[in-house]
Structure 1
Amino acid sequence: MGILLLVWVGIFLAKAVWWVWWRPRRLERFFRQQGMEGNAYRFPFEDVLEQRGWNMEAHSRPMSLSHDIVARVVHWMRKKIPKHGNFFFTWLGPHSQVVIEDPHVIRDILAHKSGHLTKMTPDTLLKLLVTGIVIYDGEKWVKQKNPQSGLPGGEIEGNEEEEEEEEEEEEEESLVVSPFLACCTEIIDGWEKMVPFEGSCELDVWPEFQNFSGDVVSRTAFGSSYEEGRRIFQLQVEQAVHLIQSLPGVIIPGYRFLPTKRNRRMKAIDREVKGLLRNIITKREKAMQLGMARDDDLLGLLLESNQSYAEEDGNQEKTRLTTEDVIEECRLFYFAGQEATSVMLTWTVVVLSMHQTWQDRAREEVLRVFGRSKPEPEGLSQLKVVTMVLQEVLRLSTPVSFIYRTTQTAVKLGDFHFPPGVGLLLPSVSVHQDPEIWGEDAHEFKPERFSEGVSKASKSQAAYFPFGFGPRICMGQNFSMVKVKICLAMILQHFSFELSPSYVHAPHTVITLQPQYGAQIILHKL
């Protein structure tokens, strides 16, 4: 017994030494032999602490009113790129990561279909916030994807020409536009009550758009189960805060099993969210069996599409989504839908407050197309100026600073070879503002650069990927753009706005790009 224990301890220690020392050092030598640069591996978390220190320094103070946000959002990258170039390695504990800024290599990575590259498989703590199709690969991804093609925007695959991206799936979108317009009307009515006649008021639009987006997702996803949906939204917001505060520890083996107060709370939220979703889904499935189910919300569309696809395929056990699969997709509705809408609307209002001329041009276009009537999906394709504005906002204030992939097998990317298990960080935040790609005015707000479409806006079509690229592009990108266009159009119809003197410009990343101190504007009723 004693000998077996010693053997077990020896094997454990050998694996630990391999994981925290020998493998990272071998990878470092492998990278350097190919001419790649980066920090030396320092046991075990020095690189993480260095990067965290730089970012904390940058986030400790606001920045001037500028669109050049890279130095604040990812300060550690601004420190390393001049030293190591646009292709360098770094360390997340003993895990190697390679930062790639070359748009041609990025295009190859995001368009990869051979199985050599996968999405990042998140730590269990990350799965407490978001799961679903966004993190899957292989057969599991195909299984989750096929029923989702029946949702608004679900037919999008690959980064097609911008003309195709701008085409709206009007018939599908009309099923969820009605509850969305109801939410827009409520926020407009609420703001009008705040502003005195021929007067103005200060308003922080960041929490306004967060609550608005949560209501939108709750209504469009769950329809009559709206109140239960609001509770899920509140829990998911709390979960995101806990997750960010826990991130420094997720690279420590076994951290998620520690019975800390935060870990216990995160798991309790996860159980409650799953319970609420399971109850909503079960009731809807029973109603479908009785022929009384509604199919005018996202949950109804997903369940109906799931059933239809499984029946057409003929192998329901293999292709039909389980209740747990549907729960995962519903959680993704919240994370992707709420975050994308609130972040895009917030930065669009901030940017248009900074650039009054473009605000006036966008308003003139909205009034010409819709007058004072509520915007309808079929008219959105006529909003050329609004579309250019949103595309430029997404370039300068891209919601997600990085896209992450992992090498599943040995693969060559650009001039470098990679073994399995290497993380690839694709920094959209810096690629979107690279002067070598976008010109000397890369840090300026110039929507006219998109006047002839995305493909002609820069020197490389692969330099613009706010929704990703290739076969794993965000399936809901069209739907997100529709929501933002409608809400922005209604705001422009009723109000003009400018930055408040109390606004502090401090973009920072909390999973998505957010205003650290809020987004205060002065609202004027028209």
Structure 2
Amino acid sequence: MKTLSSSLVLNLLIHVGLPVITIITFYFLNIIWMKPQRLRRKLEKQGIRGPKPSFPYGNVGEMQKIQAAAIAMKASKSSDGDFVGDDYTSTLFPYFEQWRKQYGSIYTYSTGNKQHLYINDPELVKEMNQSITLGLGKPSYVTKRLSPLLGNGILRSNGHFWVHQRKIIAPEFFMDKVKGMVGLMSESAEPLLRKWEAACIEGEGSGIADIRVDDDLRAVSADVISRACFGSSYTKGKEIFSKLRTLQKTISSKGMLFGLPTYGLRKDVKSLEKEIDSLIWEAVCERKCQQTPLLKKDLLQMILEEAMDHFASKDESKHFIVDNCKNIYFAGHESTSVAASWCLMLLALHPEWQTHISDEMSEACPNGVLDVDSLPKLKSVTMVIQEAMRLFPPAAFVSREALERTQIGHVDVPKGVCIWSLIPTLHRDPEIWGPDSHVFRPERFINGVTKACKSPQAYVPFGVGARSCLGRNFAMAQLKVVISLITSKFKFSLSPNYQHSPAYRMVVQPGHGVNIIVQKS
């Protein structure tokens, strides 16, 4: 009887178990290797080449080796002090630069089960950015990694849900609304100006102070977005901003672009996500219980009303509100404050442009008050900001995924392929910007972007087209206000404590902050 039972079990394993194991093995092999290989062959048939992948992680191993070699090379070199001419992409993204030199401005590579298409041809970038099809969206594996930080808000969502969210949020950042925020932006900058004035007075009788600007600029940006969109001050939302930054650092610390699992981070990320969601929902509940009627609707009120109108489920409504608040809190202050830090670093190296901005401020605002009418007259600060965002754009990539088969110029992009354009490479290409492409020269923008280079579509600090940054007008106005006010009140130079080390933490930011020597004008 025992022998018979053993035989039956063995037969069952052979006739049922082995086929099941074979099917499961084939399924995972298809996902991990065969599918990306099929996508790769479709691109290769169009003449698109790239580094040869290895099983099972594609080109990840090669990327890691190139990255390690670049870091070692940087460590062995002493800085020559040419911060502006420094091609930081060769350290931050050395694999992209190496492959670009080897395969040209369009090539393919893979990370695990994802096949990628790198595009840095200006015409193809233009085609991609101006495409209005919902078949091009945010890469799913990247947005999955960012889910704790952004939920399914406007920065992460795709398809019709993204369109729906854009219709709600975009009008709040139209130029007519932004003009009404200029006074608020000036008010938010006042604490920074007073703090720096006090630091200069306390500077051991010298009248100067060595200031690390990043946190102060971040506080200004956070206060502006808090007051403009949520009707509260930065002080009230300080804990939310702090935890968002911690979560940002945690998520971006493990090579997000590789698309590999990060099991060790899950517990920390989940805990931070819960804390942030709870803090935001607490602020939302306070608004709901507010008895005093609003003089005018802010963005939070628009989001609350939309959630009430379109979601029957309480959970769906809550997720919609919290997710979009997280998106606005994060996007509304992080990129803008980083751009301001880069602006001050470059102005510290080029005092002549400080003089240009200060002189224009004196003419446009003789009473020292910057208002909506004086802002368009500040041409120099506009050019400085444009040039700073050319050389050090906070957004490193334009990224898309073909959610369905899509045509971009002459390239037939198969469904499932992720597309990447490296913005700093476009912004520093000598063929587009001329032989001085690595030089800080704001005057190149004197007649606008269209006259600044051969291919204006290659200037994409805010993206272009349907998925361009909603807060572009808001960010530019805020940068003009903050940089103009600082430059009119102070003279500054780069501190010996400044260490030039651009770092990629979802945005390209000064790795060790920006220190400047500040003196009251």
The bucket for the TM-score relative to the shorter chain is 0.7 to 0.9
Is the deviation greater in 220-229 or in 457-466? Answer: 220-229
Structure 2 residue aligned with 1:32, among 44, 65, 71? 44
* Alignment partner, residue 462 of structure 1: 457
Structure 1 residue aligned with 2:323, among 323, 328, 338? 328
* Aligned mates of 1:426, 1:512 — CA distance in 2: 15
* Alignment partner, residue 185 of structure 1: 190
Is the aligned partner of 1:45 residue 2:57?
A: yes
Percent identity for Structure 1 against Structure 2: 28
Unaligned 5+ residue runs, structure 1? 154-167
- The CA deviation at 1:57 is 4.2
TM-score (norm 2): 0.88
The code of the aligned residue for 1:399 comes to: P
SS of aligned partner of 2:360: helix
Alignment of 1:33-432 (within 5 A): 33-45=45-57, 47-59=59-71, 60-61=74-75, 63-64=79-80, 65-68=82-85, 69=87, 70-121=89-140, 122-131=142-151, 132-153=153-174, 168-169=175-176, 171-174=177-180, 176-196=181-201, 199-224=207-232, 226-247=234-255, 251-252=259-260, 255=261, 258=263, 260=264, 262-287=265-290, 292-293=293-294, 295=296, 297-300=298-301, 302-303=303-304, 306=306, 322-371=317-366, 373-432=368-427
* Aligned mates of 1:509, 1:204 — CA distance in 2: 19
TM-score (norm 1): 0.87
SS of aligned partner of 2:172: coil
* Aligned mates of 1:443, 1:325 — CA distance in 2: 43
The code of the aligned residue for 1:348 comes to: C
Please list the CA deviations of residues 98-144 of structure 1 after superposition, one character each: whole Å capped at 9, or x if unmatched.
11011111111111112332222235331111241122222101211
The code of the aligned residue for 2:488 comes to: Q
- The CA deviation at 1:222 is 2.9
Label 1:332 to 1:114 Cα distance change in 2 as closer, same or farther (>3 A): same
How large is the Cα RMSD of the aligned pairs? 2.6
Label 1:354 to 1:147 Cα distance change in 2 as closer, same or farther (>3 A): same
* Aligned mates of 1:438, 1:424 — CA distance in 2: 24
Is the deviation greater in 437-446 or in 74-83? Answer: 74-83
SS of aligned partner of 1:403: strand
Aligned partners of 1:150 and 1:302 also within 8 Å? no
Higher relative contact order (CA 8 A, sep 6+): 1
* Alignment partner, residue 487 of structure 2: 492
The code of the aligned residue for 2:324 comes to: E
Aligned partners of 1:151 and 1:301 also within 8 Å? no
- The CA deviation at 1:285 is 3.1
Is the deviation greater in 342-351 or in 127-136? Answer: 127-136
The code of the aligned residue for 2:239 comes to: R
- The CA deviation at 1:205 is 1.4
The code of the aligned residue for 1:437 comes to: I
Please list the CA deviations of residues 377-409 of structure 1 after superposition, one character each: whole Å capped at 9, or x if unmatched.
232111111111111111111111111001122
Is the deviation greater in 80-89 or in 293-302? Answer: 293-302
How many correspondences in the alignment?
495
Unaligned 5+ residue runs, structure 2? 1-11
* Aligned mates of 1:92, 1:294 — CA distance in 2: 51
Aligned partners of 1:233 and 1:334 also within 8 Å? yes
* Aligned mates of 1:512, 1:37 — CA distance in 2: 29
Label 1:499 to 1:106 Cα distance change in 2 as closer, same or farther (>3 A): same
- The CA deviation at 1:365 is 0.9
* Aligned mates of 1:417, 1:358 — CA distance in 2: 46
Aligned partners of 1:239 and 1:266 also within 8 Å? yes
Aligned partners of 2:50 and 2:103 also within 8 Å? yes
Aligned partners of 1:152 and 1:173 also within 8 Å? no
Larger Rg computed on CA atoms: 2
* Alignment partner, residue 7 of structure 2: none
Aligned partners of 1:278 and 1:327 also within 8 Å? yes
* Alignment partner, residue 525 of structure 1: 520
* Aligned mates of 1:180, 1:511 — CA distance in 2: 25
